[in-house]
Amino acid sequence: MILLNDYGVFNSSYGSSIKNIKLSKYGKCDVIIKEATELTKIQIDEDNPNYILQDDILFSKDMKTLYFYSRWKSNTTYTIPNEVETIGNYAFRNCNNLIKVEMSNSITQIGSEAFRECSNLKEIKLSENLKEISISMFMSCIKLEVLNLPNSIETIRGGAFYNCEALKNIFIPNSIITIFEEGKISSNANRYSTFGGCDNLLVTVESGSTLQLSDFTDAGLEKSQVIFE
């Protein structure tokens, strides 16, 4: 186990294979979750003013931000508490036991790669107050089948659905005005198209949309995979 010091410093020499970390009184978790890609469990000093642990899930003290869902948890379903407004970057990354996730409409922001490589995730219910599908949010969720984009969504960032090979249908509401062609993945220098690898996907675009066919073909889809109402 690594004890993170009071300045929140995470030395890259620790390596990405660290599985357990304890935050000291003033330790912070942001860099840890990004760099320690095999991290399964976080502990915190009881006097840490920034975080609280509930059932091995790390939240901000006020419960408004969910930072980390422990990857070792065996739960196949999870309902995010109503108090949560933000899901942090990488929060559910590599949580391979999860099959279904639900959230309330209190959530307005989900960070980059939040559900990346959740290899058994099949269904997720998104908040109807979410404005953006973030960079690589569902990248390599290879079993994701059910996903409804709410009318609140305005932007789909690069790499959002890259390699979601089980996705068969997505309805694009006319609230969406921007689809980025590709995204830079924070963990390396590679770039991934937004819908690359979604070979079984059929996209239906709501009437009144300002999006063009090129917005989808530039993002990794074939013309035959896009239908405009």
Q: What gap in Å lies between CA 186 and CA 208, rounded to an integer?
A: 34
As a dihedral over the C-alpha atoms of residue 32, residue 36, residue 40, residue 44, rounded to 10 degrees, the angle is -20
Give me Rg for the CA atoms of the chain. Answer: 18
What is the pLDDT, as a whole number, of residue 8?
45
Instruction: For 7-59, give the DSSP string.
Output: T----GGG-TT--EEEE-TT---HHHHHH-TT--EEEE-TT-SSEEEETTEEE
CA 128 to chain centre: 16
What is the pLDDT, as a whole number, of residue 191?
62
Query: Which pair of structure tokens corresponds to residue 175?
Result: 């609230």
Domains of the chain: residue spans and CATH = 1-49 (no CATH), 52-229 (3.80.10.10)
What is the pLDDT, as a whole number, of residue 153?
98
**Which residues lie below 8 Å from residue 54, measured CB to CB, with a gap of 6+?**
none
What is the pLDDT, as a whole number, of residue 45?
81
What is the pLDDT, as a whole number, of residue 3?
46
CA angle, residues 89, 163, 67, in degrees to nearest 5: 15
**CA atoms within 13 A of residue 66's CA, in its CB half-sphere:** 29
What is the pLDDT, as a whole number, of residue 16?
58
Please check whether residue 120 is in contact with residue 97, taking contact to mean a CB–CB distance below 8 angstroms.
Answer: yes
Please report, in tens digits, the pLDDT of each residue of the chain (229 residues total).
Answer: 444 444 444 444 455 566 677 776 666 666 555 555 667 677 888 888 888 989 989 999 999 999 999 888 899 999 999 999 999 999 999 999 999 999 999 999 999 999 999 999 999 999 999 999 999 999 999 999 999 999 999 999 999 999 999 999 999 999 999 998 765 444 443 468 999 999 999 999 999 999 999 999 999 999 999 999 9
